[in-house]
């Protein structure tokens, strides 16, 4: 998010919204839970959702519908990664970094059970038990 914001040459403000559908698992539960809500209104504003990864599309579809109830001027999606093989609910990604195969990835903000977010690269978790070792 910080890297992206530094590249946008417009006046922007950033808000953070927490959603969870994985919990501590490596596959989605299918149930989206809001863990942290916006602190400012978005009515009449152009909104860019910045997402780390879109795989099933369920969370993104939920988020888009949720935000529409707050009457923004527009809503667009920017995702670093996309796993089209896992897509269950089609969503439009307006700005996409990379398309990846159906593998579980960590690093550069992506986590496994709240670890590995701080890796300066994106890596594939082949053995979840090994990922938890210090």
Which sequence positions are flagged as catalytic? 55
Q: Which residues of 69-95 are buried (b: 16+ CB within 10 A; e: fewer)?
A: eeebeebebebbbbbeebeeeebebee
Return the half-sphere exposure (C-beta side, CA atoms, 13 A cut-off) of residue 20. 13
SS3 30: coil
d(CA 31, CA 122): 26
């Amino acid at each position: 998010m910080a890297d992206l914001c530094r590249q946008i040459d417009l006046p922007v403000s950033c808000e953070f919204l927490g959603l969870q559908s994985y919990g501590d698992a490596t596959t989605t539960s299918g149930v989206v839970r809001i863990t942290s809500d916006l602190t400012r209104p978005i009515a009449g504003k152009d909104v860019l959702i910045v997402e780390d990864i879109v795989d099933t599309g369920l969370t993104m579809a939920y988020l888009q519908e949720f935000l529409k109830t707050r009457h923004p001027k527009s809503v667009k999606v920017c995702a670093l990664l996309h796993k089209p093989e896992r897509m269950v609910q089609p969503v439009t990604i307006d700005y996409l970094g990379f398309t990846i195969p159906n593998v579980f990835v960590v690093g550069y903000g992506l986590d496994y059970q709240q670890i590995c977010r701080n890796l300066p690269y994106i890596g594939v978790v082949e053995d979840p038990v090994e990922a938890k070792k210090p």
